[in-house]
Chain A
Amino acid sequence: MSTITPDVVAAHQLSEAEYQKIVSLLGREPTYTELGIFSVMWSEHCSYKSSRLHLKKLPTRSHLVLQGPGENAGVIDIGDGYAIAFKIESHNHPSFIEPFQGAATGVGGILRDIFTMGARPIAVMDSLRFGPLDDPKAGERNRRILAGVVSGIAHYGNCFGVPTVGGECVFEPSYNGNPLVNVFALGVFRKDQIFYARASGVGNPVIYVGAKTGRDGIHGASMASAEFTEESKQKRPNVQVGDPFLEKLLLEACLEAMQTGAIVGIQDMGAAGLTCSTCEMGSRGCTGVEIDLQYVPQREAGMTPYEIMLSESQERMLLVAEKGREKEVFDIFRKWGLDAAIIGHVTADGLLRVKDHGVVVAEIPNGALADEAPLYDRPYTQPLRKAPMDGPANFSSHNLGADLETLLGSGDICSKRWIWEQYDYMVRTNTIQGPGGDAAIVRIKETGCSIAMALDGNGRYCALAPRQGTMLAVAECCRNLSTVGALPVAATNCLNFGNPERPEIMAQLVEAIEGLGEACRFFETPITGGNVSLYNETLGDAIDPTPVVGVVGLLKTGPPLTLDFKRPGISVVLLGGFGRCDARQFGSTQYAKVILNQVWGMPPELDMDYEKRVQAAMRKIAGQGLADSAHDLSDGGLAVAAAECCFGPAEVGARLHVTGDLAPEFLLFHEGPSRILISTSCPEQVLRIAQEYSVEAPVIGTTVEGQLQVSGPQGVFLDFPVQRLRLVWDRALERALKG
């Protein structure tokens, strides 16, 4: 056994003060195994030690919330006796080191979080961020990472049998050395059949099921809590290998075992593996857990207690069963061909006691690991901000039409079909609206209700003003749901930031969390869980602060309201109006980024009260079946949204006229929020509803066959055959990837 020197402590990414705290909690020096256990449980990834203090500011309750943060996933009541569980998780670090397996195991991890609660996963979405594919230095690597991540997600989700129904994919230079892979999953179950990760009932057996434990992924949680350096590549063995077929077996077997009533508590082994599952289950159940490692199924010989406790081998679950009913549980696992073993039992002493062939190798109070983790009030100053406040004094477009084409072919805006066609987005035949829409819709066959969901984040906005950027992300995510007629009811979030020990980064985090709380409170979408991913830096360069928000909403099951114009000759209404934008706010747009190649200023201004009214009006319009199509305005503003509405199978275009005293570039491309483009054959009724909510709703034109024309006070701005624009938009991503 190694002796514990300051170097050993440092190698475990524990500070001297943290080590002293361990000594005082134990009343002695820890063993090497105990040190390893503390290091993973107290890592940023598992303990949220830098963010916990601020996360408390988030709203977490409503009359629909059955389970808020603190369990494996949040749970919402959807009526008729059913509930949904959902959460988002990051797998950023592993996906950079090994894109395919990193992304695949990210999907695996979040799926286990869902079915651990007893819910059957019915939808996955992913939020991806990479460096630009044409980056002069990192382009080739970025392309390889994107391709690897997408095929990893496809590999895992498709085989497991969960549809990947939506997501987002964004490119910014700040993700060159640190891509973001955030995966959201959602499952459904009866609300009287929720399972919790609690070890209760002294004497009850602790059962291990699933894959054998190997040496893979040791210290994954600590790796995810450090910056990238040149040596990071040597950490490739820290990335686990996923087996979606095994996970599928685990899903079916666990759900079947839960039906017997013999399961008391259950938790998956994700980050920090056996360590985390044993001590958290004990801590939540106010009990102790004693295990003997000789009974843990092992893939290779000669593993030390340290390695077994810290392994992050995938596709493993830990459960506590009712004593005397072990056989019922084992029969089910045998039916599904799974390894299962009793490795210990629940005790009354509140300790995590780990034995190896009867010899105690670790004995730690559960509370010390799970609840006594360090909590830091890290100092923060002003948020890091690199962009100037003001942009070019004068810019005017040479050709607005060419600008639109360029935007439609740019990374953030172009069609992501190449990505989502690699995902089986229809399996389970519940997908009412799949990828490519404003929000995905999945029906619940057991009730008459459907779930709408969307993911949104905007690192560019947040880099300019983290609080406003985060609030805009919440607003947009809710707007996405309202655009398809769904009422937003709850949210989850993944906070991707740099090193919190830098006060200017910590300030970004604090501002974002406060903005998130304020917006979620206002839009009545409590946060029921989520994930914080810090230290997203490579060689001291932090990513743009990137909070990703996932919102779920409810609507009645029925034909979806989609974004494409369906037929010529009907009115086009801009619900919410032309919006406002000044020269500073224009600096955060896609136009500034793509056409002017600069970013400056501030994000668009958000009037939350107005936004809420626009959304309420939209839901009423959708609910009454008054809209033929609806599409929310976001990246690229009105012109890009209008073009996207033309890309339906019928290629119906529009002739639009915009007004206002803004310059043409602003009129067409500004990204002011709270706006939705609707086509309708009953504009009077739409306008009446808009009036009811005191929302502007100019009729800006009519749909026509096959052509998009937009004019303004200064004349015709642009005029294109739809097909030409569509080809640019549709093929850009594949062209960027494959040349």
Chain B
Amino acid sequence: MRFAVIVFPGSNCDHDAWYAISRNLGQTAEFVWHDSSSLGNADAVILPGGFSYGDYLRCGAIAKFSPVMKAVRRFAAEGGLVLGICNGFQILVETGLLPGALIRNRGLEFICRPVDLITVTTNSPFTSQSEPGKILSLPIAHGEGCYYADEHTLDELEAEDRVVFRYVNNPNGSLRDIAGILNRERNVMGLMPHPERATEPLMGSTDGLIIFESMVTALAVK
């Protein structure tokens, strides 16, 4: 499978995603520069963590105007798998591909630590290989990861089974402990924790592999 890893000038987890996919998952990963209007022949897209264009304004607010995001939007509309990690999640909500917003952590400080996540749904191409209720340990590293949306949107996300992961011990104040969500079509996922940082024993956890393996399984079926 070919994974396109989008590179904004301020992406800094791009190489980590590339490494996780090509070395620890054994799939093909290719970098796609932010001013590219094509994703090549990618089977799936990863929007990696980092600070896209510096994010001095609002995380992801400028990235949504980049040429590559037009291509990503098109790719998503055609049913392609898009995974936004951390800054990638922030970009997805700014772009409108996912609802809600990611605001400053409740404690106002940047937090880097491994956290436990509970798998809420396996009805998604990102979690099909997991089990409902399964706990994954993945690192977080963000200053603006508090998921926020109005009550109606939150109810809708839950009613439509679109909350994928919740924090076991909410680190950042996210409403309803939300760590990751899907779009209505279930082919776009945004996730604040970093699965690519948990893909080999030396990283301290291999729980992130289950997400990438689910994607590979979903693509194989396609």
Q: Residues of A with Cβ closer than 8 Å to B?
A: 151, 154, 158-161, 243-246, 248-249, 252, 336-337, 420-429, 432, 443, 445, 557-559
Contacts A159-B54, A245-B53, A423-B110 known; list 15 others, CB within 8 Å. Answer: A151-B110, A158-B141, A159-B10, A159-B55, A245-B54, A245-B55, A248-B10, A248-B12, A249-B9, A420-B112, A421-B109, A423-B112, A426-B203, A427-B49, A429-B16
Chain A minimum-CB-distance residue to B35: A335
B109 touching A151, Cβ below 8 Å: yes
**Dominant secondary structure of chain A at its interface with chain B:** loop
Let me know if A424 and B19 touch, CB within 8 A. no
User: Restricting to B6-62, which residues have a CB under 8 Å from any CB of A?
Assistant: 9-10, 12-13, 15-16, 19-20, 49-51, 53-56
Q: Taking the nearest CB of chain A, how far is it from the CB of B107, in angstroms?
A: 10
Closest to A336 in B: B9
Name the CB-closest residue of A to B10: A245
> Across the interface, which residues of A come within 8 angstroms of B109, CB to CB?
151, 154, 421-422
Contact partners of B196 in chain A: CB under 8 A: 429
Report the Cα distance A424→B12, complex, angstroms. Answer: 11
Query: Which residues on A sit within 8 Å (CB–CB) of B50?
Result: 161
How many Å lie between the Cα of A528 and that of B143 in the bound state? 36
Chain B positions 175 through 202: 1 when the CB is less than 8 Å from some CB of chain A, otherwise 0:
0000000000000000000101101011
> Are A252 and B202 in contact (CB-based, < 8 A)?
no
Contacts of A245 in B (CB 8 A): 9-10, 51, 53-56
> Are B113 and A421 neighbours in the complex by a CB distance under 8 Å?
yes
Q: Is A426's CB under 8 angstroms from B139's CB?
A: yes
A650 to chain B, nearest CB (A): 15
Cβ of B112 and Cβ of A159 under 8 Å apart? Answer: no
The 10 closest A-B pairs by CB, nearest first: A161-B12, A245-B54, A424-B141, A159-B51, A429-B16, A422-B110, A424-B112, A154-B110, A245-B10, A422-B109
CA of A160 to CA of B197 in the docked complex: distance in angstroms? 17
A424 to B13, CA, bound (A): 11
Task: Name, among A248, A429, A432, the residue most crowded by chain B CB atoms within 10 Å (CB to CB).
Answer: A429
Q: How far is the CB of A447 from chain B (nearest CB, A)?
A: 14
CB of B113 within 8 A of CB of A428, answer: no
Of B10, B20, B56, most buried by chain A (CB within 10 Å of CB) is: B10
Say whether B111 contacts A422, CB under 8 Å: yes
The answer to whether B112 touches A443, judged by C-beta atoms less than 8 angstroms apart, is no
Q: Which B residue sits closest to A243, measured CB to CB?
A: B54
Contacts A151-B109, A245-B56 given; indicate if A427 touches B12 (C-beta within 8 A). yes
Q: CA separation between A5 and B54, bound complex, in Å?
A: 46
For A159, the chain B residues whose CB sits under 8 A away are: 10, 12, 51, 54-55
28 contacts between A and B (CB under 8 A): A151-B110, A154-B109, A154-B110, A158-B110, A158-B141, A159-B10, A159-B54, A161-B12, A161-B13, A244-B54, A245-B9, A245-B53, A249-B9, A249-B10, A252-B9, A421-B112, A422-B109, A422-B112, A426-B139, A426-B194, A427-B49, A427-B141, A428-B12, A429-B20, A429-B196, A432-B202, A557-B202, A559-B201
Distance in angstroms from A647 CB to nearest chain B CB is 15
Q: Are B16 and A248 in contact (CB under 8 A)?
A: no
Interface core residue of A336, A426, A445 (most chain B CB under 10 Å): A426
Query: In the bound complex, how far is the Cα of B194 from the Cα of A133, in angstroms?
Result: 34
Q: Is the CB of B9 within 8 A of A426?
A: no
A429 CA to B9 CA, complexed, in Å: 19
State in angstroms the CA–CA spacing of A496 and B178 once bound together: 47
CA distance A420 to B49 in the complex (A): 19
Q: Tell me, rounded to whole Å, the shortest Cβ–Cβ distance linking A559 to chain B.
A: 7
Pick the most buried of A154, A160, A161, A445: most chain B CB atoms within 10 A of its CB.
A161
B197 engages A424 (CB within 8 Å): no
Residue of B nearest to A557 (CB): B202
Output the least CB separation between B134 and chain A (Å): 19
Would you give the shortest CB distance from A734 to chain B, in whole angstroms? 10
Cα distance, A557 to B19, chains bound together (Å):
17
- In chain A, what residue has the closest Cβ to B50? A161
A248 surroundings in chain B (CB, below 8 A): 9-10, 12, 51
Q: In the bound complex, do residue A429 and residue B19 qualify as a contact, i.e. CB atoms below 8 Å apart?
A: yes
Interface centre among B12, B113, B196, by most chain A C-beta atoms within 10 angstroms, is B12
**Given A421-B111, A443-B202, do A427 and B9 touch, yes or no (CB 8 Å)?**
no
Residues of B within 8 A of A422 (CB): 109-112
Asked whether B112 lies within 8 Å of A445 as measured between CB atoms, the reply is no
> Distance in Å from the Cβ of A98 to the closest Cβ of chain B?
18
Q: How far is the CB of B217 from chain A (nearest CB, A)?
A: 23
List residues of chain B with CB within 8 A of the CB of A249. 9-10
A426 contacts B111, CB within 8 Å? no
